[in-house]
Structure 1
Amino acid sequence: MTEPTFTPLRSVLYMPSSNERALEKAKSIACDALILDLEDAVAPDAKEAARESACAAAASGEYGRRTVTIRANGIGTRWHDADLAAIAQAGPDAVVVPKVNSAAEVHQLVDALEKAGAPDHTKLWAMIETPVAVLDALSIARASERLTAFVIGTNDLVKELYAEHVPGRAPILPSLHTALLAARAAGIAVLDGVYNDVKDTDGFLAECRQGREMGFDGKTLIHPGQVDGANTAFAPSEQAVDDARGLIQAWEDGAGSGVVTYKGRMVENLHVDSARRTLAIHEAIRALG
């Protein structure tokens, strides 16, 4: 059985598709992925022009190794159907859909993409940003093989819960953990929400560390200045890579001997699996160049 290829998603940057300069600048930003936005970042009277620009950008092949996605307007909006049809024809790496609240909505989205001729490589990323979505996260995550990632919409989630944005994010930690559990159970990627204060570098880096420690694959971003911090936070450190190699070597050297230890700690299969995942992430990031 061939191991799946790991795709780094440490830094996933929203870019307004109504801004041609932003779309051009995105070609030189060292993020792992782009979300070319047709929703929140685009005024109603600019939606159609933004759609054309985003689809042309995604189809251009000019974004190198970056994962290129397009965020459509949500189900029920007057732009949604036309967005999906155009995105399907453009064939980006994924379509990002806000406020996906049920498995039935996933089926609806997948059917629409397939009817519009979306290629197999165009996946679905579902935004989890409402209480009902969190509570139904596992069924959403398992609804279709075309769905390959959760994107957590923390701003909307805070709003829907009547909560507050506070350091450490205590009001939404149960929701974040629930979405993480569902994503891991279904074997899909899961991306942390945005950090709103682009001038608060310390706060941003602290939230990146928290997200990495919780288990997120990466973070969605609203400013190019946040990319380097996310790339560093969600990549294995040099020490982690060295330890992973040493642990695997100790395991292989001790095969058949019963108890294996590395740096004084007992090594079991689960530790080896984690170490191999660390190295897979490291190698995938190195391959980006």
Structure 2
Amino acid sequence: MPESAQFRPRRSVLYMPSSNAKALEKAKTLPVDGIIFDLEDAVAPDDKLTARDAACAAVRSGEYGRRELTIRINGADTEWHADDLAAVCAAGPDAVVVPKVDSADAVLALVDAMARHDAPEHTKLWAMVETPYAMLHAEEIAAASERLTVLVMGTNDLVKELYAEHVPGRAPVLTGLSLALLAARATGKVIIDGVYNDVKNVEGFLAECEQGRQMGFDGKTLIHPGQVEGANAAFAPNEKAVEDARGILSAWESRTTGVVTYNGRMVENLHVESAQRTLSIHEAIEALQG
């Protein structure tokens, strides 16, 4: 996968309302891997223009350290979309996050617009997939452009569009989550899980982080600073996983026959690749914290 060669941690990606100056200031101190400065759902219509200016100023400020900085613009069906996109491209964040991307044509139109607005090469596209149609066309969306590097699950909208309910274990949306994950892995893209709404339910949040990690998500989008620590822990390899990865690679590199074992288990190429990825993630997290 392209991302594994130059892995960037995205364990915790926090939505921050760009109309809230205190929130933008607090984000400078949070141990998040990434920030989504939000111009969409978290911002009232009367505050859209002020929020846009604040988000663009934030990404230009250089005051957020190694955090990955992105801006979520308003959707293509809104009056703010075109001006949002022009302003954000000029600001040059790490990525533009676009809601409700439902087709390859939508991706291509966005990429074309970013080029017309002279977006810097480092400014990538993150596509939010949050409708049944997007789930059924996720591979086409993910494969549409190399500039699209990340899929972001919009699980709240997906639940709404399905006429479903938010329940522990997320059974109503598991098919959609799986389709989007398959699309991301088939096309070499990163995929970030949706938000957990009940910020006071720590146990439920941690269970959903664990579920997301087990499924294969790279990290989780968050709506509250109190969720950062749990997401960082859940989506990072634990000490045992790192120890095993090093042991597998050591056994593989010192092999003298075609058969290699580690702790009594047969080691094959697939185990080596998994071990290399585990260490890449671990080392990237260590570098971020250093």
Q: Distance in 2 between matches of 1:252 and 1:123?
A: 37
1:244-275 Cα offsets, whole Å, 9 max, x none, are: 000111111114x0211111111000000000
Secondary structure of 1:239's partner? helix
Look up the equivalent residue of 1:286 and give its one-letter code. E
Task: Return the TM-score normalized by structure 2.
Answer: 0.98
Q: In the comparison of the two structures, how many residue pairs are matched?
A: 288
Tell whether 2:191 aligns with 1:190: yes
Retained in 1: the 8 A contact 2:135–2:176?
yes
Q: Aligned-residue CA RMSD in angstroms? A: 1.2
1:174-227 Cα offsets, whole Å, 9 max, x none, are: 100000000011101000000000000000000000000000000000000000
Change (3 A) 1:63 1:277: same
* Deviation beyond 6 Å, 4+ runs, structure 1: none
Task: Give the equivalent residue in structure 2 for 1:233.
Answer: 234
Tell whether 2:96 aligns with 1:119: no
The structural deviation recorded for 1:61 is 1.2
Secondary structure of 1:64's partner? coil
Look up the equivalent residue of 2:229 and give its one-letter code. D
Task: Return the TM-score normalized by structure 1.
Answer: 0.98
Tell whether 2:6 aligns with 1:5: yes
Secondary structure of 1:51's partner? helix
Taking only the aligned residue pairs, the percentage that are identical comes to: 70
Task: Give the equivalent residue in structure 1 for 2:277.
Answer: 277
Change (3 A) 1:2 1:162: closer
Change (3 A) 1:103 1:2: closer
Task: Give the equivalent residue in structure 2 for 1:131.
Answer: 132
Retained in 1: the 8 A contact 2:3–2:188?
no
Q: Structure 2: state its 5+ residue gaps.
A: none
Q: Distance in 2 between matches of 1:191 and 1:269?
A: 27
Change (3 A) 1:26 1:285: same
Q: Distance in 2 between matches of 1:71 and 1:3?
A: 25
Q: Structure 1: state its 5+ residue gaps.
A: none
Change (3 A) 1:2 1:42: closer
Q: Distance in 1 between matches of 2:140 and 2:118?
A: 25
1:64-115 Cα offsets, whole Å, 9 max, x none, are: 0000000000012000000000000000000000000000000110111111
